[in-house]
Structure 1
Amino acid sequence: MDGHRLTATVQDSWQLRWWMLSQAGSIAVREPLALREALMRQLEAGLAVYQ
């Protein structure tokens, strides 16, 4: 995997999720798994609109 790894403890919020989705082409959420899966579902739903 190229790039860097950042580990942080943050409060889960809509603002955090909004920011993560805005960075979808640049970052990958590894953990927690529930957050990763929720973001993946939102990205898949958005992609489905264009197919």
Structure 2
Amino acid sequence: MTKQNFLKGTIILIIAGMITRFLGFINRIVVARLMGGEEGIGLYNMALQHYF
């Protein structure tokens, strides 16, 4: 594998990771507004841990 292909793949993975984090952040904002505050987010986080 050439150095250029390695760098290109690394950059693609970095960009994909940033997009994934951004979409997760947007999802968390929407869920927080729908569930209404800290209690809803706490319940969501408890359920999410068991899901993963």
Q: Same fold (TM over 0.5)?
A: no
Normalising by structure 1, report the TM-score: 0.37
When normalised by structure 2's length, the TM-score is: 0.37
Larger radius of gyration: 2
Q: Which has the higher helix share?
A: 2
Say which structure, 1 or 2, has more relative contact order (CA 8 Å, 6+ apart): 1
